[in-house]
Structure formats: C-alpha cells, structure tokens
Amino acid sequence: MASYDFVVVGSGIAGLSFALRAARHGKVLVLTKLLSRAGSTHLAQGGIASVLDPLDSLERHVQDTLTAGAGLCRREVVETLVARGPGAIRDLVEWGAHFTRATAEGRSRGIPYDLAREGGHSSSRIVHAHDGTGREIQRALIEAVHSDPNITVRENVLAIDLVTAKHFKAGEKDKDPRAVYGVYALDVAANRIEMHLGAATLLCTGGVGQVYAHTTNDSVSTGDGIAMAYRAGAAVEDMEFMQFHPTSFFNPGHPTYLISEALRGHGGVLRNRAGDALMDGVHPLKSLAPRDIVARAIDAEMKRSGEPCVFLDMTACGGAASLKRHFPNIYRHCLRYGVDMARQWIPVVPAAHFMCGGIKVDGHSATELTNLYAVGEAACTGVHGANRLASNSLLEGVVFSERALARILDTRPARPSRRRFRAWDSMRLKPVEETIIYSHALETIRSTMWHYVGIVRSDFRLDRAAEFLRVISRQIQSDYWSFSMEPDLIELRNLTLCAELIVRSARRRKESRGLHYNVDYPKMLPRARHTVLRPT
Ligand SMILES: Cc1cc2nc3c(=O)[nH]c(=O)nc-3n(C[C@H](O)[C@H](O)[C@H](O)COP(=O)(O)OP(=O)(O)OC[C@H]3O[C@@H](n4cnc5c(N)ncnc54)[C@H](O)[C@@H]3O)c2cc1C
C-alpha cells in the first residue's frame, strides 16, 4: 500500500474540510467507518455560528463563548475561532454548501444568510440550512472530496491503533521516540488489518456519546480517536465535561432523536407524568432555562419518581397546522412513533450530546505526539471550556482543520518508509465464539455511565462506576489479545477506556463548574484549572 502525505481518520466536517485543504499540497487518505449518514456532522440541525451582521461584533461572540465556558476557555483560541468564522462560511460555500438566504430586509443590510438566534448568543449569528444544516454541509463536502483526484476515501475501514516507534522492526530507531507514522486499520469487508502510513496523521473521529445509555450521537461516535491517542501516549483534557441535551425523544429500542430547544422557545412546557410543570420555581426562565439547569431538573425528577422519562407538552402551542409549519421534521418524526404533539405530550429524556474535552491539542491542533493532530469533537482545543456555546462546534471543525494544515506545512514532515515497520500480527487470534459477552459489557458500561457519571455526580457514584469499569476493562484487555479483531470489540475497548477517562477526570475535579456538577462539591472554586490525564 502507498504511503501518503496526510492520513485522516474520520469523514465529518473536521476530516473532510482538512482533506479538501490538504489535497492542494499532497496525497490524502481518508479512512472512515461510514462516509454519509454517519457521525454528528450529518445530524446537526441548528447551524454554524459566525459574525455576519454589521450590528454584531467579534468581541461579543468571543464574550458569549467565554461566558458559556465558565472560566475554562482559552481566550486566544476562542479569538481565532471567532475571527475565522466568516472565512469558514465562505470556505463551506466554496465547497458547495447552500445555506438559507437572508430576507430582503437582511440583504438590504448586507447580510447574505438568514441568521438564527440560539441560547447563550447575544446576537443572531447562526448560519443554517433550514433545520438540516449538518446534512447539507456533509453532502457538499462529500461531493467536493469525490471530485478531488488527490483524495482517496476508504469506507468501512476502521482505524484501530496508531503506528508508533513500538511497531518498528528489530534494529530500527528514530531520533524522536514520540513520533506517529500512521494507523493500523481493519478493512471490515475484507476482514484484513492494514497499515496506512502518512507524514502527518489526523484524528477527526468525533465524540464519544455512545458511552452513555441515552445519547443524541450516532453509533459511530465511540471515542476511537481519543482512546487511540491516549494509548499511544498523548494527553487528554477536560473529559469530565460532557454536555447533556435536556430533551431527546424517549423511544426505547430506536436511535435517539433530538427534540430541539426551539419547541420550548415556542411555548412547550416540561411536565412530569402527574402533569406538574417541572421548571416552575426552579429558574425564572422556566422551561427555557439554560440547558444544564433544565437537564439537571429533569434528572432530579426522574430519580425522584423512578420514571424513565418526563414529557414536553406542546398541546397549547397553536395546534397542528402551526406546529407542522414550524417543526415539520420533528412533528413527522414523533408522529411516526405514535405521538401527535398537537394532542399528546412528547416523552423526553436528557441525552449525552457533546464532548467538550478530548485529545489535548495546542492552538494548531497539534497533540503532544509528533506529527499527530486532532481536529473537531475528538480534540480539546480549549474553545469550549467547561460548557459549549451552541453552534460553535461545526465552526471549530472548519477553522482548526486550517490551523492544523498550516502547522504541518511549516514543519514539513517526511513520508515514512514501509520497510521500517512490522505488519500487524493476527496469526495467534481465534474467532470470538459468543458475542453476547460484548453486548452485555456494552450495556453495563452505558448504564453505569448514565446512572453514576451522568448529569448529577457524587464521589460515591464515581467511585462505584470506577469499580465496575475496572472489572470490564480487565476482561476486555484479555479478550482483545486473544480473539480476532471485530468492530464490536474494537469499539468496546475504546468506549471502556473513554469511560474510565471520563470517570477519572470527574473524580479529580473538586468543584462544580459548567457541565460538571458534583453534589459533594456544589461550589465553583475561585481558580479554574484544566484536568489533564497522561498515560503512565
Ligand atoms: C444531534 C446533534 C445535533 C447537533 N447540532 C449542532 C449544531 O446545530 N451546530 C453545531 O455547531 N454543532 C452541533 N452538534 C455538534 C456537531 O455536530 C459535532 O460536534 C461535529 O459535527 C463534530 O464533527 P467531527 O468531524 O469532529 O465528527 P463527526 O461528524 O462525528 O465525524 C466523525 C467521523 O469519524 C469516523 N470514525 C470514528 N471512529 C473511526 C475509526 N475508528 N475509524 C475510521 N473512522 C472513524 C466516523 O465514521 C465519522 O465519519 C450536534 C451534534 C448532534 C449529535
């Protein structure tokens, strides 16, 4: 197999925007589990934040981001993100994305696109493609990548581990023992493990929502990049900050579906089964209180009542015709599963939504390992701090893919030679006989994380979770080196490690800040510190 200038793992907004930029400078290989209809980019509904209104300002967007981040954002990185916003929108349009155009009034003020307003933003600055922004961006990027001869995309190929000095043949050495040379990956259809070498390796594998029983994330979001980087020696940062969306459709046995905040903005009221309005007396904004406060109130109600969900009441919000006009997709989705929101309450449950932490990177998306970069939700740039401002994450993917490329072009790494590395040895492995052991372990992890490491935490629950995870982790380590490689086992190993990293990070934080709430330390400490974990 050829070696490449750039090996990119992941085909969401981070991976594909990087590939398109890098293809002007060399050969790019993109490995991905699934190219379309997978990952968080495809699912994003709301939009992408950017200052385009002359009455808005970059400084206000910076301030809004810092406020949401509760003292843990890195200001200079936030400034880069915001300053590059308008350029990022231009890049996406150049790659073929169509965003909803401004009204005549907007255009007369020089604003090209309709700008929506979202929670935490002091101005209207959300560029969107109706309520399917991510789908439109993903479509455009895939088309652009397909028409670029310098980009090779391999689908159904799952990266397993990074190629490092550990994988040299006997006698081979490098003056830099912390260098990364590419990835080992499983070609699922061919059931073959391949080595893909690159001068620079990019992890753009997205989030880790699948570690929780309820999540808005796609099934591919299993934290693979975070786990691979950590195993290879990179640091991870702020992994305790998982953002929970307060309202996803409660529909056991089916993929989770986001019930947008816009429904509460339209007058929806959160109720328990008895019909009491949940947010009365909790926050002056009631059902429209900030996401973390609503999520915490729902969690408390579910714990108190033992019910598996609460309800969003839209029955006094203008009737079927108005609801269909405002929320065509959500209305259709609920109806498909037997809930007519004009007449019935929508069962909702909070769900793990966005990982603010991840692989620790600098302002150019460089990890602590040489020639290894991480972009998008897998990375912790310091942009989100302890809580993400809505619609900043798509932007992060586009902006930091550009920053990563700039650094790679500055450092000019060389393509590694295949002759120096060992191929993956799978001779001693036997096929797994009973896959139930994996599905059971996965269920245990997801329910442990949901009940013990969820929206409200305590030292007791975190310690209990750590104990459960220790047992599962030991079993998986032993299976991993005995059985042949299968996607389920690879993902389970990564999810287990990510779950452990989240628990360890949460246990280290002796305060409540942003998304992390621990009843044993309900106050925020005066000094904000990052939680950094490095493999020993
Ligand atoms: C329901 C929902 C709505 C959202 N709405 C918004 C919004 O309106 N605005 C906003 O800014 N953000 C939103 N977000 C967050 C945002 O969508 C994500 O943070 C962002 O899309 C992440 O992009 P990414 O490229 O890092 O990862 P993803 O888009 O998740 O892509 C990850 C890629 O990695 C691949 N992959 C993973 N592991 C491997 C492996 N081992 N080997 C090979 N390939 C692998 C996957 O196949 C996938 O292609 C939303 C998220 C969700 C879940």
pLDDT digits (tens, 9 = 90+) for 321-359: 999 988 888 999 999 999 999 999 999 999 999 999 999
Q: Whose CA is nearest to atom 37 of ligand 1?
A: 205
Token pair in block for residue 148: 């670029």
Q: Is the pLDDT of residue 371 over 60?
A: yes
Q: Whose CA is nearest to atom 46 of ligand 1?
A: 10
Token pair in block for residue 156: 């159904």
Q: How many alpha carbons fall within 13 Å on the CB side of residue 516?
A: 36
The predicted pLDDT at position 501 comes to 98
Ligand 1 midpoint to CA 41 (Å): 4
Query: How many angstroms separate the CA atoms of 376 and 378, rounded?
Result: 6
Q: Which domains does the chain have, with CATH numbers?
A: 246-350 (3.90.700.10)
Ligand 1 atom with the shortest distance to the CA of 34: 47
> What is this structure's pTM?
0.95
Tokens 């990074």 locate to 162
Average pLDDT of the segment spanning 272-282: 95
The predicted pLDDT at position 82 comes to 98
Ligand 1 midpoint to CA 136 (Å): 14
Out of 29-43, 164-178, 405-419, 479-493, pick the least confident.
479-493
Average pLDDT of the chain is 94
Q: Which helix (H) or strand (E) holds 132?
A: none
Average pLDDT of the segment spanning 203-222: 96
Which residues, judged by CB distance below 6 Å to any ligand atom, belong to the binding site of ligand 1?
A: 9-15, 31-34, 38-41, 43-48, 133-134, 158-159, 204-206, 216-217, 220-221, 224, 258, 353-354, 376-378, 391-394, 397
Give the three-class secondary structure for 167.
Answer: helix
Q: Is the pLDDT of residue 493 over 80?
A: yes
Sign, CA torsion 515/518/519/524: negative
Query: Quick one: DSSP state of residue 371?
Result: T
Burial of 511 per CB tally in 10 Å (0-12, 13-18, 19+): middle
**Span 73-118, pLDDT tens digits:** 999 999 999 999 999 999 999 999 999 999 999 999 999 999 988 8
The predicted pLDDT at position 416 comes to 94
DSSP string, 375-409: -GGGEE-SSSTTSPPTT-HHHHHHHHHHHHHHHHH
The separation between CA 130 and the C-alpha centre of its own chain, rounded to angstroms, equals: 22
The predicted pLDDT at position 423 comes to 82
Ligand 1 midpoint to CA 444 (Å): 24
Which residue is catalytic, options 21, 135, 264, 291?
A: 291
Q: Is the pLDDT of residue 455 over 80?
A: yes
The answer to whether 475 and 233 have CB atoms below 8 angstroms apart is no
Catalytic residue list contains 534: no
The predicted pLDDT at position 132 comes to 85
Q: Is the pLDDT of residue 420 over 70?
A: yes
Q: What angle do CA 307, 308, 312 make, to 5 degrees?
A: 90
C-alpha dist (Å) from residue 202 to 229, 411, 498: 10, 15, 19
The predicted pLDDT at position 516 comes to 97
Q: What percent of the chain stands above pLDDT 90?
A: 83
C-alpha dist (Å) from residue 82 to 52, 69, 125, 391, 394: 11, 14, 11, 12, 12
The predicted pLDDT at position 1 comes to 66
Token pair in block for residue 342: 């004009």
Q: What percent of the chain stands above pLDDT 70?
A: 99
The answer to whether 89 and 127 have CB atoms below 8 angstroms apart is yes
Residue count of the chain: 536
Average pLDDT of the segment spanning 159-168: 95
The predicted pLDDT at position 70 comes to 95
Q: How confident is the model at residue 426 (pLDDT cuts 50, 70, 90)?
A: low
